[in-house]
Amino acid sequence: MSANTLVLVACLAVAVVLLLGLANMLRGGSANLSQKLMRLRVLLQFIAILIIMGVVWWRTA
């Protein structure tokens, strides 16, 4: 798996969870599910940032 693909997958995972959270909020879904999705999004954003930083470091090294 190339570095570009890894970054793309990480960013898409964040986007999917964000859209699921927005859809849940717009249809008046469970507040508990919204909290879980928000926590998952924050975790995925952290992982995506680590991946992006790792790719940048790897390409400049």
Q: Where are the domains of the chain?
A: 3-60
**Residue 13, both tokens:** 């995972």
pLDDT for 5-39, tens place per residue?
999 999 999 999 999 999 999 999 999 999 999 99
Measured distance CA(26)–CA(35) in Å, rounded: 14
- CA dist 39 and 34 (Å) reads 9
Instruction: Tell me the C-alpha to C-alpha distance, in Å, between residue 10 and each of 28, 40, 61.
Output: 28, 13, 22
Q: Does residue 58 surpass a pLDDT of 90?
A: yes
Gap between the Cα atoms of 24 and 21, Å rounded? 5
